[in-house]
Amino acid sequence: MTDSELIASLEIEGTDLYIHTQLCHARYEQLTNKFIAVEHRFDRLEKLITDVKASVETMKAGTQKDYLNASLYVVYILMGTLGFLLAKFVI
């Protein structure tokens, strides 16, 4: 739509109530459609953020489990070494 067509439609809208209401209705529908599109985008973002959060929590739980397993291995090695040293030098 060119500037002259826009100005002409605005002039017609100012003098004809029916055209004004039709244009307002069309504008309202456009805004409604845009809001619906934005809402869908936010829904997708919310799902993506929820998925990322779940992945981070899974990784965090896995990391904690790995640290616990490593700590247990170190304890077992120390206990084995201590048992060996006690058996060799004390008994």
Higher pLDDT, 63 or 40: 40
> How high is the pLDDT of residue 32?
95
Q: How far is CA 60 from CA 49, 53, 56, 73, in A?
A: 16, 10, 6, 20
Kindly list the domain boundaries of the chain, sorted by start residue. 3-90
What pTM did the predictor assign? 0.52
pLDDT in tens, 28-44: 999 999 999 999 999 99
Closest CA to 61 of 53, 72, 51, 50: 53
Amino acid identity of residue 61, one-letter, is A
- pLDDT-derived band at 21, boundaries 50, 70, 90: confident
